[in-house]
Structure 1
Amino acid sequence: MIRVLLVDDQPLIRAGLRMLCDAEEDLSVIGEADNGRDAVALAGRLAPDVIVMDLRMPGMDGITATGRILAERPAARILVLTTFGDDDHLYPALTAGACGFLLKDAPPSELLDGIRRAAAGDSPFSQQVLRRLVRRAVDARVEEPRPAAGLTTREREVLDLVAEGLSNIEIAERLHIGVTTVKTHVTSLMTKTDSPNRVRLALYARGVA
């Protein structure tokens, strides 16, 4: 069971997220907070598997809360869910340590998948956000490492799909292989390309394409 903490200052948003999560057999909402300060306290007391974090809230905002939670619990998985996908919100959230970034207009299935991926150690991003990260890095001519030696044909296929912003489940469906196999390939690719996270792996893929 994945234990979820919801953090959003809008009661209707929290109610909708709770209903969405509670309808799933593997998700359980263990707490709610309407501001960053309470989120920090609840995260310490409840030790949730995934914290779904809004960014703009009264008092302590989500970025500050993310940094404080991770300072106390470095292994916490914080998934940003926000209306604001601009760079002024995206990059500070990632710098604070958020493991993923989804927009509130995402389909419910994408949010549920994002929570599961975050709990599994993955880094879920809305496709438009991931593409913008990659495009910005390419436009800024970020220096990418040279192609890693020893990538298998299957690893190169997985790498190309990571660059498109596909989730592990979507990659598994596209290549007709198991999700566990995809996770193994992604882990191997991160090691071979010296990529600390999925975003960096996508940037690497775009650099060698």
Structure 2
Amino acid sequence: MSGMLNELLKHKIVAILRGIEDDKADDTARALLDGGIRLMEITMNTDGAAAMISRWRERFGEEAHIGAGTVIDLDTAKQAVKAGAQFLISPNLDEEVIAYGREHGVSVWPGVMTPTEIVRAVKAGAEAVKLFPMGSLGVNYLKEIRGPLKEVPILATGGVDLHNIAEYFGSGANGVGLGTKLVNMEWVKEGQFHRITERARAFTLAVSELG
């Protein structure tokens, strides 16, 4: 098990930052860190994503683990790894991306939906998978696939909120990906970073209470 997978299993939350403006990005990251978030994913379809990853690695290197999201193909994976991403997350399963990550010592958590895709991902060398879109699939789906697929670490992404996070973990998730429910873009635009810290703290507390 890699160090990064350990961190995912320990902290259980990945904050997803998509489309964040560069001049608000650092304050947002700081606000998340102050609320206890330790894993942050900048999606590669965000303007200036590679530069942000690089900057955050330097600036928050001791406190946070910075990864790249929406890594849909090998070219994107190369850009992300070059920028210093410590983990790669995709909405899709691309064996080339997994192989490239392994080659460079970077964890890859590909997007999967079906049991076949989960098994394919593990065979290709993925240490964990991102079950997506959970908002549409629902926790019952997660519970059902957990029957035959007990050992695979699953990051459930989509549809998670404070009122149902316990249900996600109770149904077999090992971690959750949180986008706008955690990083409220209105608050970011308005510079209300204290509210992002409060929301982050509420989520980290909810996860810590799960034991």
TM-score interval, smaller chain: 0.3 to 0.5
Question: Which protein, 1 or 2, shows the higher relative CO under an 8 Å CA cutoff with sep ≥ 6?
Answer: 2
TM-score with structure 1 setting the length: 0.39
> Which one has the bigger helix percentage?
1
TM-score with structure 2 setting the length: 0.39
Bigger-Rg structure (1/2): 1
